[in-house]
Structure 1
């Protein structure tokens, strides 16, 4: 079905109807993008988007929790992001008695807003180019290790020079594989509180089944608020803190959009690998990603068995399960898309052209061995990539794969200190024990660790698993589940009470002999293991890759280039853009969905497709208020052809006036190879319509005071 839709779409393309590639630096907009954007429908200047001296749109865009994007939508620090970005905080603040994930949450007053333990937002202040300064400290005679050391020393000086005695966080980042460097100045606010969230049946409607799919009908949003001290400065949580008065907040538009309308997105895309060579694509498709997928599925299946049986366990593990499940589907989608689109062959053809250019006399000395060195690296690291992804899958899903190592080292240190120091360290340890143990369920943890350890020992051995793990696996008839049960029975780390008992009678030898500690130390040691041979191979690859990017830009100097995403603020622009007609979507055009389609998917009692009675009642009465579209329907999700990736979750989708029309939350599975190679025909961003967001807040939840707090553009 999906393949037929894609073929129909390709056959029906009109010349020039393509997605717009590029994740652009804001400081380069005027030079590289402003004219193109204005031709497409932007009614602003680059200065109105990014200004150092005046408030601008960039002042309303924050990095949320270190991994998502969010936007300021009121003069009182109100923040909009995705439901899945706030998911961990909502789960943390939930109990079986007050299950905010299942039932939703809406603070009627600011005093009712809830503070998660660790949640912050990061405001972007400015950026600048320090390429010449950084590259001035290196030369061609340096080894890669010496080069990295010199660069890191200069980076430390630049960051120190620009942090204004700790007022700002400064980060110097490498771009184009070490060919350019920029520094970024940020201000972090650690007091962020939950204001509102729809129930799971809205915020996560469609669940794993609909994830990465279109048509979508998901109300993927949540509301938070940033607090500051009375002078507007960042401050730890305090009842004396007040809502932040931001430099800029977004205006909300209820006018909607039509096909081919301009749309731009600002956010913090996490990671793309558009420069990745063909060998890297082949390695991911055939070695790395299959291991990731298999390990993730084993962990998910074991977690879900216990989550389905106990509501508290379901809440406690909801965030971890959701993260693992998201990447599990992502990696499988990547395998399918990269294979279907023959991405490795496309990359190899480009590399052949580069190599022909590199063999010319004027280029030979600098670039002649680049492709050969790159290919040699991937051939020699394929098995390592498979091993590392089985191990990463184990570390991602199992708490006790890593916990005994980190906590055990602290306990060993504690045991060697004098009485006064022990009191200080013990206080720090006990303060964190609740966070560590209160939400762990040992039957689940034993099962997950045993199953994933068996998988790792069985599938990763070609690259060399630790002898200790191999010996355990063989001596227990290739099934470590019984050994893991016994290890928990005899471990200091299996409960909070046992850790506290150790603090009362510390013994360094007891830590070193602990079975879970030995296991964890072995796994983390293998994860971090390197050899002189591997370091030399890595150095050769880093140099070759840097020269490949340098040479590619030199070979095609007139092309506009953008760097790979690396969690720095970017802008991408495009248009409202449909996918081919799809009988599953009842909307009048296949670039948006409506509440009618949501109700059509409704399955009473189903975890993924159930709906609240209140929403069904509003649908029956067509009580949509001012949030209906021109045809009287309630829009839910829509499509643009913007270039985004993970980290853009929660990013604002803005119209040509810079007004908020939606919140980006997903991509489409047909373009899953987009992190590696941009597909101009199939790439889509899926966003939740701001009118649906406001409808849920206002009509469904009765939290009209939050809508009134926002600035709504006059129609």
Structure 2
């Protein structure tokens, strides 16, 4: 199923494109989108958005820590992104004594900015099309594995040719299910420091209850800074490093905007699956996603019990819990939305039309595509359920940690003395890294709960798990009893026991370690494929590529954009409302106000508490220069931009390319948006930049940060 996930990442969408639909390559804007964007209100030229030789808008957009988007908003390398994007770094820097996650943090100067252990931003340099070069090397007689090997060999050459001696990171990616290839050149900066963050009661206001919902009242932002060496080059952390002088930084507008104003977003959307066949949608709705939802809730329940009892545990696990909770609600929302919109039925109609086209004499090479795809899904439905239970089990730390460290130790034991001296410090560093912040009672109980769920709900489970489940009769306490004994007899129980083992390592002890054996068994099952499954994968991948190729031939006059796969894209649309909602106090349902935020206030509540200082500012109407022209303080607003996960932290820009907001969520009604775009329902939820600046200036008193920005009034 892993290859299935990968090919979904690389798929394409081929339905008629609405004005606000599409995640577009910047290099194609002039040819495909510029006229539409001008009509809607864009006042920039394509060269001002994407240029290889001159500073342009793309130089201010960065990928943040490989999972979100951020933007450069000052000439001193100041980075703006979402609070939830910086959540793990803020939690890491927090302690029970200095709890920045709960209380917020604002550096008074550069020397007070805090360096997390690991945080990077990636600048996009350029991209180019290498489809002809790569596809000239493959033919239809190759198996999918042969094709993949040939392509990967050429990709390695292309990446080497364009990295300029290691200065750049180069990535060649497949699009339209292997029908096109582009390379992307990036420059990475690894010295990135925390500048400021509001308290979680603002940055995460509404919690899981409001997640994916509208109306929203969340101040979802945080600030970081990129550092470089004195020449502006990437450098590892050093006190001698200086704030980066970027090629381009965004101007920040506090002029406000109105309904139907132009809005565009640049960012790194992670994944859409809009070419997914009907069988894939049905598989997700009936088999894969329900397993994901159930397994996620299982981990969340155990984690929350421990987190509620201990503040340090809450800080150590805050990011992990938030991530699981986000996907839990997302997957359930997907199930509901895909059923409600009858998306699979709609796809079946498209596939029926494709089959009619493919059965014509000139298109016979595509005639078997749909039958092969349908056969694949029919034979992998149960496997998809199993894989999702197992995937969530393997996300528990103590299910994967013994395998990771045990494999490294096994390699170490097979080396000569000189090689061991080289490898051992790396293993010791990895031990420190993986055990940092682990709370053993929580880890043990999460692992027990996931093993019980996996062993009772999935078919064809890992052999060792099956034997153990039979031995303990899958009883309520069976897995707890087994794990108590296994942990006591394992070198992986604690960092101290593992360090003691490394002082005098023994291959037989490692081989017979109960947690190592369990971890190896789980990974082996995750990777196992029968010969029949391998053939199904091969046939499916060929058919899926042919489906995309055929659909583009069937409809040659349509404009196409590739599905999201964490490459830089532009999406454009308008500030636009949803139908009136009595829960929103605003005059029009495309924005929310601080009045509505205060109305949600519940003292002491984990999701709806808020600082008294913010309430005081509201009551005084002390909004400074950040109030709307009508007198209210804006908080969040809606646009109809086409985004998905990975776009979190993306800048929302007006027609002049000025920053007006920060994308952070979508709406539950359009949760099917990763599979099918609905131009009536799809909305992006954004933090109004005026609320961000108000919180920095009036609440935090960090006016020195405001002074750093280029404000447009």
TM-score interval for Structure 1 and Structure 2 normalised by the shorter chain: over 0.9
Q: Which residue of 1 aligns with 2:11?
A: none
Q: Which residue of 1 aligns with 2:189?
A: 189
Alignment of 1:552-631 (within 5 A): 552-631=551-630
Q: Which residue of 1 aligns with 2:515?
A: 516
Q: C-alpha displacement at 1:415, in angstroms?
A: 3.3
Q: Is the 8 A contact 2:19 2:36 kept in 1?
A: no
Separation in 2, partners of 1:425, 1:172:
31
- The verdict on how the C-alpha distance between 1:421 and 1:151 changes in structure 2, with shifts beyond 3 A counting, is closer
Separation in 1, partners of 2:324, 2:481:
25
Q: Which residue of 2 aligns with 1:137?
A: 137
Q: Which residue of 2 aligns with 1:74?
A: 74
Deviations 1:324-377 (A, max 9, x none): 00000000000000000000000000000000000011111x101010011001
Separation in 2, partners of 1:649, 1:438:
27
Secondary structure at 2:643's aligned position in 1?
coil
Q: Which consecutive unaligned segments of at least 5 residues does structure 1 have? A: 1-16
Secondary structure at 2:246's aligned position in 1?
coil
Alignment of 1:371-450 (within 5 A): 371-396=370-395, 398-450=396-448
Q: Is the 8 A contact 2:463 2:521 kept in 1?
A: no
Separation in 2, partners of 1:140, 1:421:
45
Could you state the TM-score of these two structures normalised by the residue count of structure 1?
Answer: 0.96
Q: Which residue of 1 aligns with 2:313?
A: 313
Q: C-alpha displacement at 1:531, in angstroms?
A: 2.8
- The verdict on how the C-alpha distance between 1:313 and 1:541 changes in structure 2, with shifts beyond 3 A counting, is same
How many aligned residue pairs are there?
A: 695
Q: C-alpha displacement at 1:591, in angstroms?
A: 0.2
Separation in 1, partners of 2:253, 2:412:
57
- The verdict on how the C-alpha distance between 1:224 and 1:96 changes in structure 2, with shifts beyond 3 A counting, is same
Q: Which residue of 2 aligns with 1:4?
A: none
Q: C-alpha displacement at 1:84, in angstroms?
A: 0.2
Q: C-alpha displacement at 1:482, in angstroms?
A: 1.1
Q: Which residue of 2 aligns with 1:5?
A: none
Q: C-alpha displacement at 1:433, in angstroms?
A: 2.8
Q: Is the 8 A contact 2:265 2:572 kept in 1?
A: yes
Alignment of 1:152-551 (within 5 A): 152-364=152-364, 366-396=365-395, 398-461=396-459, 464-478=460-474, 479-551=478-550
Secondary structure at 2:579's aligned position in 1?
coil
Secondary structure at 1:273's aligned position in 2?
coil
Separation in 1, partners of 2:312, 2:283:
40
Q: C-alpha displacement at 1:429, in angstroms?
A: 2.4
Secondary structure at 1:80's aligned position in 2?
strand
Does residue 670 of structure 1 match 2:669?
A: yes
Separation in 2, partners of 1:184, 1:413:
34
Q: Which residue of 1 aligns with 2:46?
A: 46
Q: Which residue of 2 aligns with 1:107?
A: 107
- The verdict on how the C-alpha distance between 1:401 and 1:591 changes in structure 2, with shifts beyond 3 A counting, is same
Deviations 1:166-194 (A, max 9, x none): 00001010000011110000000010000
Separation in 2, partners of 1:430, 1:555:
57
Q: Is the 8 A contact 2:405 2:431 kept in 1?
A: no
Separation in 2, partners of 1:589, 1:225:
36
Q: Which residue of 1 aligns with 2:147?
A: 147
Q: Is the 8 A contact 1:18 1:680 kept in 2?
A: yes
Q: Is the 8 A contact 2:274 2:674 kept in 1?
A: yes
Q: C-alpha displacement at 1:19, in angstroms?
A: 6.6
Separation in 1, partners of 2:482, 2:374:
42
Does residue 86 of structure 1 match 2:82?
A: no
Separation in 2, partners of 1:285, 1:590:
31
Separation in 2, partners of 1:66, 1:411:
28
Please identify, of 505-514 and 412-421, the stretch whose mean Cα deviation from structure 2 is larger: 412-421
- The verdict on how the C-alpha distance between 1:358 and 1:416 changes in structure 2, with shifts beyond 3 A counting, is closer
Root-mean-square deviation (Å): 1.2
Q: Is the 8 A contact 1:19 1:681 kept in 2?
A: no
Q: C-alpha displacement at 1:417, in angstroms?
A: 4.0
Separation in 1, partners of 2:36, 2:425:
59
Q: C-alpha displacement at 1:144, in angstroms?
A: 1.1
Q: Is the 8 A contact 1:20 1:680 kept in 2?
A: yes
Alignment of 1:648-663 (within 5 A): 648-663=647-662
Please identify, of 42-51 and 410-419, the stretch whose mean Cα deviation from structure 2 is larger: 410-419
- The verdict on how the C-alpha distance between 1:334 and 1:494 changes in structure 2, with shifts beyond 3 A counting, is same
Q: Is the 8 A contact 2:667 2:682 kept in 1?
A: yes
Q: C-alpha displacement at 1:536, in angstroms?
A: 1.4
Deviations 1:434-491 (A, max 9, x none): 3222311111001000000010011112xx1122110100101213121011111111
Q: Which residue of 1 aligns with 2:632?
A: 633
Q: C-alpha displacement at 1:505, in angstroms?
A: 1.6
Separation in 2, partners of 1:346, 1:297:
31
Separation in 1, partners of 2:418, 2:572:
59
Separation in 1, partners of 2:170, 2:519:
34
Q: C-alpha displacement at 1:38, in angstroms?
A: 0.3
Deviations 1:660-687 (A, max 9, x none): 0000000000000000000110000000
Separation in 2, partners of 1:370, 1:304:
47
Deviations 1:20-56 (A, max 9, x none): 1100000000000000000000011111100111100
Secondary structure at 1:402's aligned position in 2?
helix
Separation in 1, partners of 2:442, 2:202:
28
Secondary structure at 1:483's aligned position in 2?
helix
- The verdict on how the C-alpha distance between 1:380 and 1:424 changes in structure 2, with shifts beyond 3 A counting, is same
Please identify, of 408-417 and 641-650, the stretch whose mean Cα deviation from structure 2 is larger: 408-417
- The verdict on how the C-alpha distance between 1:150 and 1:420 changes in structure 2, with shifts beyond 3 A counting, is closer
Secondary structure at 1:493's aligned position in 2?
coil
Deviations 1:219-243 (A, max 9, x none): 0000000000111000100111110
